[in-house]
Structure 1
């Protein structure tokens, strides 16, 4: 203070809200709230890094308080994330920064134009619409392939060029084929796609300057010195091919040391039979004799390449196309049409064993979870103990019209361990109005003083009081005993009275559950509920399938007759849920379809019961589950889950074929290029009828399997039984492993087999001996290991043992898994497999992935079509073997591959 003047600095307000507008390309608009009447706004800009390694902010602008509250940042790159911060400043004071981030608009490079084409190349150009930092990705689709979606989504990536390049030449196309292109503009943060071009057709290939005879064998070898030689083929040449294998040709040629090589291994070779090019490309072995050379040629040498790929969940056809991109094989990969199988059972649980297999949160695994399976019912345990004190103090203000002085002792034992930090105590007290002369009290908990000489405070009408339980530090509590008593009693008539005490787990109860409103004078309180007011959430294990679930159904039967607090179902392992409240059923399309099904249940107090004549009036019984039924609609297109693919490409393709029931072969196209043909049995049909079959023979390879029993691996379980000496008591599992059982009473005393009890391990039964130490009606605790098992019967199964199959698959660990395995085997093997062999005119059948109509072969077998399995071409005949379905070994191989994938799931 000087000369009567006071100098001070006023508070400087901060900008509390700012919005960024990136709708216009290459600019970023900022707008903020007007908070100044003096000073200026300072804005700084940062070009963000996707990995979080951001650079420093740089000054962008200073805007005076009277110059408006908007600013446009120019020269911004498209498709990037920028952070802008703003603060207020005056000559005397600086405010706090407010930071906001935004991704700028990315305009795709567009007007993609085909400039020129020839037999093996397509030249493209496009217009760059905004400056960006990234690259152009060029995608292609071939018109004779089936795709779902645009080229940039499902097509093949054919090239990548810089962000300032506006042209590209695709040199990986085939002659006389129709293609479409799309250019993706991509930055580190986002991408945008151009319009798809109109179809463009490449030029046809000019006729080769060679004359291939229309009859007999013809061979071309690439001599090491670069000369193409055409040796004479001797008698006895053969070609053989099997489904899902590399084709081979065995050929003897004349030996002429003057022009032929000393060694032929690795030399490129081309082979024709009766004018048809055969799919072999390289000499694998050669045997030099005095007058001839024996050659073994092989096709699809790229299948011997070592590959490695980690798959989370991806469609088989997409994986195959990707694997073949780095080979010289033209990929002709079929994309199966979506076929939706509706309302398919995933899992059903209705007893203690299946509940334990299905649910993740059971007391056997987590002792702090108030959940039990009791008599094949899943229900929450009591989470709140309400003790109504029926003392000699009466009044309409008290619960039940009665209370007692604060000298009392109450106890309660929870059926689970309440975590230390969640245990709470409330009691309802009243009757004292003079806090200056009030009583104090002591609180003794489990033998430890919690409070001593604590002030009660003023309270006339009864209300709930919560103890400051944050001071509790004596560990988790399972058995609770409490004593509250006066240390200084007030005058008579001024005493403090308590009518209700509640111990509770605050994970499932909150303050709003403690109302002081009696339903009538001297009546009862509505709560707190004895069971969770805030539902106990339990989840199933993740039920991984081998196809994509697009919709789900969840039905439960309840023991209380009404709905449960919450039902939820997910197909992406809990990433997103469809939900329902107070329901017994739920159905709907998944927000994110996927193969990883998971269910969630919220169980609490049953609020639909009639009010009882006690505190609490409501919530005195739990909700409960007696059965769980999960079903789904599946997209049947094959899906691969959680698999590391590594090894020779051919072996990897076999793995994928096992998982998806697919077939493949090495073929050759009209231009003489080797191809990889991938499809599913029956999806491709032979275009030309196979009417030239000569002397077809039919054999029955295997009988139908109409009943399958699958025994799995070893697992353990616990259960309780009531002793009935002299009578057999069925256990809930069979195939008990001898010597693994433990039989104890409730105090942990262990009994002896042979002396106190007998067991039938196979049938899963126990009998207490009449001469043993086990008393009639005694509750026994059993724990034992057993082999899980499951079975499935076809509707036509009549008990014939010849149509029954028993398999042991030790990797299966649940009854549900064994049942699903049995169902799979019956489904695949319920019809017998027939083989048909026949000779054909040369060239009539050249593909092993194209099914042949049954009527073309004029044979009588129960099938719609026949699948070629192997082919042998000799000089005078083509012999082909067909099957009506996959062989038993292929079925088992497919199932084991699925199982391996599930076991690898993380």
Structure 2
């Protein structure tokens, strides 16, 4: 009979647990059986039963070859215990292993962010990654002292948030303190800390004076036991301030810090702390600083402007500066002048001062009270000229179209044609032209000279020369350098010579012209004679542009009015003017007067007349033997109040450049204070922008200062040849009618010899004196950041809108401010009221 028995079933060995994956518990064990199965159970630690009544209970049965399993669906940060045993159908079950515990992975809170910061609180938000936390603890530590780099205090539990809560507001903080904070999610069995984030609470501005210093990202404030500061601010000067504070050595470390002065929570000044001083006391010191625009008074750069409205150039410049946020208000445009005569001449003296031809290179002159071009082409009839030669009517070089049918014939060595030209102006070396009309079948050796200077040669035996014009002053035949004998003027000799002649060689020379190449193109010289065997040109008098002297004044020129008396206005005659230094000319032809409107910008006017050839002759040249002339000239202008920068250069610190540009443009720059390190610069005409101010008026004074007012003014210029001295007298009749005549102190400008310049000067200076009658006022207020340069409605001036020129705080006990008002100088309005007379008078100065 068979004997049966059951082998022993080994017990399971202790498992190893893992929590590397959220919500899971991994179980691993050694392999102890080769038959049967393993039963693995799990429950939350602390439960009394190992069945479904126990929280977190679960079991798994796996075959004998399996040595690991995973329980999912676990709670985050919860403590679980696991046991297992072996089992078989025949041997029953082995012993349970001792329960082994592990806490599941606990992700806690992540991504903490401080979303709002105030003076004494902050709001912290985070992401809740766990599903069964008991809550969140918020830990915080505080900067020990904002004035010094002393680090932070200890970590303190500051607040506790409920489960699933993802934000909290932390209160009870100190203003202007650095804080570090983190979140700790927790359960009974686990906790997880977030990363640390930091912030700085805002500065608190109490109802008193407060100085705030900022440097390197750090901030310190002083408000207790400080006096009222002294502050001075105006558009054309850098603001300055000083402040008494208790003695403290640590303040020295904050020099060159950005400074912000507050009064009752309002920003009164933005600037910089520059130095401190003692006033003989061990308990008090004075801090000194400047306004924010002082930051522009450092370093240096260069700005150029040409034919651009001043305000646009200022805007371009400010846009190029770092940390500057510019606002430039375009100025209003108003008519200043209509038909202001700046040049007027009808005799020799006045026309000579208007048309300056003294340098001699312009072929024009003022003679006997007439402006006329000078001859610029000088003809030599070769056949009838001096020298040694014969004449020929033979057709050489393919043609025999000679003037009068004959040409000079150079057939022997030494034959030559000589001529002389008498110049009334100077031809620059580069503009000297010598045109020769000649021909040859077999060419003799030739040499061409101007004033003794050989300008070109032809070697003997060269190929034939076709009958045409050739400019030998360019070295056309020899490929030489041409004429290099310097500028030509006065009597000039001309020679064409045959230097070597072989058998059958000769040169037929028909006509020679010495000319100024600035006014002719040899390609335009006529090639054929007319029915009378004469050449129509080149004209002795070409079209010549004759400019006037330039006249500068202060305002943008919009229209030029030109009137002349001309001998004729046909052909090349034209009138022109420029307001941008000659870059752009506006012209009109066919009339002795013209109204020329400018699209360009400019403050300098210059006129120009083009006088062309006229007159005929029966001999060569038959055209252009005379020139158009003018016997009078008047140039008047219309202007508006837009300032224009013409060929200007500004070199200096940004502040210096800005002030110069504002002065040139009739504008001002002021700073708008802001609570950061940027610089807001506002540029405008004085009072062009109106602001409202809600100030507490403490006291005021009203004043109309007439001490510098005048409505009549004289200016004396240079002494003239007859012993008289030029005088310009300006008056504003409307001002005289309203206030009575009041004459200002006369101006003496002996360096000015141009009457229009003297006119302009006296008009400008009188307009400034008229503006001195504007009302002014001083108003004491509770300190505020009221910006100068703007217009405000001033109650003590019957509600008039006047310009605030200066603000001051200078009361160390009560903190009173002072506003000084005054109307801006509206020079354009005043100009329209002024009538100017210019007359020659005996020297009365």
TM-score tier, shorter chain, comes to 0.5 to 0.7
- SS of alignment partner, residue 678 of structure 1: strand
2:297 matched to 1:309?
A: no
Identify the residue that residue 660 of structure 1 maps to in structure 2. Answer: 665
Does structure 2 conserve the Cα–Cα contact (< 8 Å) formed by 1:334 and 1:679? Answer: yes
Identify the residue that residue 837 of structure 1 maps to in structure 2. Answer: 777
CA distance in 2, matches of 1:337, 1:881: 23
Match of 2:266 among 271, 276, 287: 276
CA distance in 2, matches of 1:500, 1:886: 69
CA distance 1:267–1:440, shift in 2 (3 Å): closer
2:762 matched to 1:822?
A: yes
Deviation at 1:302, TM superposition (A): 5.1
- SS of alignment partner, residue 311 of structure 1: strand
Deviation at 1:831, TM superposition (A): 3.5
Does structure 2 conserve the Cα–Cα contact (< 8 Å) formed by 1:243 and 1:870? Answer: no
CA distance 1:869–1:835, shift in 2 (3 Å): farther
CA distance 1:662–1:554, shift in 2 (3 Å): same
Match of 1:285 among 263, 273, 276: 276
Identify the residue that residue 422 of structure 2 maps to in structure 1. Answer: 413
Residue by residue, what CA displacement relative to the aligned partner does 1:522-570 show, whole Å, maximum 9, x if unpaired? 69654442212xx344566777777776x65473625323154555555
Identify the residue that residue 848 of structure 1 maps to in structure 2. Answer: 788
Deviation at 1:627, TM superposition (A): 2.6
Identify the residue that residue 561 of structure 1 maps to in structure 2. Answer: 568
CA distance in 1, matches of 2:469, 2:678: 86
- SS of alignment partner, residue 849 of structure 1: coil
Match of 1:868 among 789, 792, 805: 805
CA distance in 2, matches of 1:650, 1:440: 73
CA distance in 2, matches of 1:409, 1:368: 26
CA distance 1:636–1:207, shift in 2 (3 Å): farther
Deviation at 1:800, TM superposition (A): 7.2
CA distance in 1, matches of 2:214, 2:435: 94
Residue by residue, what CA displacement relative to the aligned partner does 1:386-426 show, whole Å, maximum 9, x if unpaired? 578999x9x9x999989899899764422234467734355
Deviation at 1:382, TM superposition (A): 0.7
CA distance in 1, matches of 2:464, 2:788: 93
Does structure 2 conserve the Cα–Cα contact (< 8 Å) formed by 1:264 and 1:285? Answer: no
CA distance 1:879–1:599, shift in 2 (3 Å): closer
Identify the residue that residue 719 of structure 2 maps to in structure 1. Answer: 735
CA distance in 1, matches of 2:676, 2:497: 100
CA distance in 2, matches of 1:837, 1:342: 29
CA distance in 2, matches of 1:410, 1:404: 15
CA distance 1:537–1:249, shift in 2 (3 Å): closer
CA distance in 2, matches of 1:680, 1:707: 26
Match of 1:334 among 317, 321, 328: 328
Deviation at 1:210, TM superposition (A): 2.8
Deviation at 1:644, TM superposition (A): 3.1
Identify the residue that residue 613 of structure 2 maps to in structure 1. Answer: 606
CA distance in 2, matches of 1:310, 1:346: 36
Identify the residue that residue 491 of structure 2 maps to in structure 1. Answer: 479
CA distance 1:661–1:691, shift in 2 (3 Å): farther
CA distance in 2, matches of 1:877, 1:829: 33
Deviation at 1:339, TM superposition (A): 2.6
Identify the residue that residue 763 of structure 1 maps to in structure 2. Answer: 724
Does structure 2 conserve the Cα–Cα contact (< 8 Å) formed by 1:689 and 1:852? Answer: no
Q: Over aligned residues, Cα RMSD in angstroms? A: 6.0
Does structure 1 conserve the Cα–Cα contact (< 8 Å) formed by 2:560 and 2:636? Answer: yes
Does structure 2 conserve the Cα–Cα contact (< 8 Å) formed by 1:708 and 1:791? Answer: yes
Match of 2:232 among 222, 225, 240: 240
Greater displacement, 688-697 / 294-303: 688-697
- In structure 1, the gaps of 5 or more residues are 1-116, 120-205, 488-495, 712-733, 737-758, 765-788, 892-906
2:249 matched to 1:231?
A: no
CA distance 1:831–1:276, shift in 2 (3 Å): same
Identify the residue that residue 715 of structure 2 maps to in structure 1. Answer: 709
CA distance in 1, matches of 2:270, 2:453: 88
- SS of alignment partner, residue 828 of structure 1: helix
Deviation at 1:676, TM superposition (A): 3.9
Deviation at 1:629, TM superposition (A): 3.0
Query: Which structure has the bigger radius of gyration?
Result: 2
2:798 matched to 1:858?
A: yes
Identify the residue that residue 820 of structure 2 maps to in structure 1. Answer: 881
Does structure 1 conserve the Cα–Cα contact (< 8 Å) formed by 2:693 and 2:786? Answer: no
Does structure 1 conserve the Cα–Cα contact (< 8 Å) formed by 2:266 and 2:785? Answer: no
CA distance in 1, matches of 2:686, 2:299: 26
Residue by residue, what CA displacement relative to the aligned partner does 1:757-777 show, whole Å, maximum 9, x if unpaired? xx76x438xxxxxxxxxxxxx
- SS of alignment partner, residue 267 of structure 2: strand
Does structure 1 conserve the Cα–Cα contact (< 8 Å) formed by 2:267 and 2:785? Answer: no
Deviation at 1:458, TM superposition (A): 13
Identify the residue that residue 174 of structure 2 maps to in structure 1. Answer: none
- SS of alignment partner, residue 653 of structure 1: helix
CA distance in 1, matches of 2:665, 2:363: 43
Deviation at 1:850, TM superposition (A): 1.8
Deviation at 1:211, TM superposition (A): 5.4
Does structure 2 conserve the Cα–Cα contact (< 8 Å) formed by 1:558 and 1:623? Answer: no
Does structure 1 conserve the Cα–Cα contact (< 8 Å) formed by 2:278 and 2:286? Answer: yes
CA distance 1:582–1:847, shift in 2 (3 Å): same
The 5-angstrom pairing of residues 742-757 of structure 1 reads none
CA distance in 2, matches of 1:842, 1:560: 75
- SS of alignment partner, residue 763 of structure 2: helix
Deviation at 1:634, TM superposition (A): 5.9
- SS of alignment partner, residue 823 of structure 1: helix
CA distance in 2, matches of 1:484, 1:638: 56
Does structure 1 conserve the Cα–Cα contact (< 8 Å) formed by 2:214 and 2:259? Answer: no
2:317 matched to 1:348?
A: no
2:358 matched to 1:364?
A: yes
CA distance 1:512–1:245, shift in 2 (3 Å): closer
Does structure 2 conserve the Cα–Cα contact (< 8 Å) formed by 1:245 and 1:665? Answer: no
Deviation at 1:704, TM superposition (A): 1.9
Identify the residue that residue 743 of structure 2 maps to in structure 1. Answer: 802
CA distance 1:527–1:558, shift in 2 (3 Å): farther
2:206 matched to 1:212?
A: yes
The 5-angstrom pairing of residues 118-517 of structure 1 reads 210=204, 212-213=206-207, 217-220=208-211, 228-234=221-227, 238-253=230-245, 255=246, 266=256, 270-283=260-273, 284-287=275-278, 290=281, 292-301=283-292, 303-304=294-295, 305-313=297-305, 315-316=310-311, 319=314, 322-323=317-318, 331=325, 333-337=327-331, 339=333, 341=335, 348=343, 350=345, 364-365=358-359, 367-386=360-379, 411-418=420-427, 422-424=432-434, 470=475, 475=485, 478-480=490-492, 503-509=514-520, 510=522, 512-514=524-526, 516-517=528-529
CA distance in 1, matches of 2:807, 2:483: 76
The 5-angstrom pairing of residues 41-120 of structure 1 reads none
Residue by residue, what CA displacement relative to the aligned partner does 1:162-195 show, whole Å, maximum 9, x if unpaired? xxxxxxxxxxxxxxxxxxxxxxxxxxxxxxxxxx
Match of 2:650 among 638, 644, 650: 644
- In structure 2, the gaps of 5 or more residues are 1-114, 118-199, 386-390, 394-399, 410-415, 500-506, 831-845
- SS of alignment partner, residue 762 of structure 2: helix
Residue by residue, what CA displacement relative to the aligned partner does 1:593-639 show, whole Å, maximum 9, x if unpaired? 454868685745434x5x45555443122133543637476681564
- SS of alignment partner, residue 865 of structure 1: strand
Deviation at 1:683, TM superposition (A): 0.6
Does structure 2 conserve the Cα–Cα contact (< 8 Å) formed by 1:872 and 1:878? Answer: yes
CA distance in 1, matches of 2:544, 2:425: 14
- SS of alignment partner, residue 568 of structure 2: coil
CA distance 1:484–1:663, shift in 2 (3 Å): closer
Residue by residue, what CA displacement relative to the aligned partner does 1:755-803 show, whole Å, maximum 9, x if unpaired? xxxx76x438xxxxxxxxxxxxxxxxxxxxxxxx774624539997832
CA distance in 1, matches of 2:254, 2:326: 31
- SS of alignment partner, residue 847 of structure 1: coil
Q: How many residues align?
A: 582
Deviation at 1:702, TM superposition (A): 0.6
Deviation at 1:208, TM superposition (A): 5.4
Does structure 2 conserve the Cα–Cα contact (< 8 Å) formed by 1:242 and 1:869? Answer: yes
CA distance 1:703–1:228, shift in 2 (3 Å): closer
TM-score by length of 1: 0.50
Does structure 2 conserve the Cα–Cα contact (< 8 Å) formed by 1:606 and 1:620? Answer: yes
